[in-house]
């Protein structure tokens, strides 16, 4: 499994890029990654990951998540929210740990929602 993760190349973006505001001061821009669980029926649920950077290769991240978590999933295109990763089951904590371990995002950029 670790050989697969070593082969996956995640595009790095600089979370600390500064953008100036009206006063001329520079302000850091951070995107928040939202991890949600949605109850389907009975004991079945779906985990959704939204807000990942546009320059990341989501199919490669999905492949690594599926291998690591032993689950199934897909990448969906949404008009309002962009690309969203759906995974079977309640994988919120495992996904957050995965994203931080492989430096896809920082721990302070991850927001876990759900019951």
pLDDT over 90 percentage in the chain: 60
pLDDT (tens digit per residue) in 56-98: 999 999 999 999 999 999 999 988 888 999 999 999 999 999 9
Tokens 């949600």 found at = 36
What residue spans define the domains of the chain? 2-112
- Cβ–Cβ under 8 Å, residues 60 and 10: yes
Distance CA 96, CA 50 (A): 12
Cβ atoms of 86 and 101 closer than 8 Å: no
**Single pTM value for the model:** 0.71
pLDDT digits (tens, 9 = 90+) for 27-55: 344 589 999 999 888 889 999 999 999 89
User: Which CATH superfamily includes the segment(s) 2-112?
Assistant: SUI1-like domain (3.30.780.10)
């Amino acid at each position: 499994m670790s050989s697969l993760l070593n082969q996956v190349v995640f595009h790095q973006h600089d979370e600390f890029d500064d953008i100036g505001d009206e006063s001329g001061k520079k302000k850091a821009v951070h995107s928040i990654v939202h991890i949600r669980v949605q109850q389907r029926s009975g004991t079945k649920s779906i985990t959704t990951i939204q807000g990942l950077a546009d320059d990341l290769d989501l199919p490669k991240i999905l492949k690594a998540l599926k291998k690591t978590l032993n689950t199934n999933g897909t990448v969906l295109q949404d008009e309002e929210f962009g690309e969203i990763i759906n995974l079977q089951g309640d994988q919120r904590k495992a996904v957050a740990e995965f994203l931080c371990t492989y430096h896809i995002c920082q721990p302070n950029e991850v927001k876990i929602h759900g019951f």
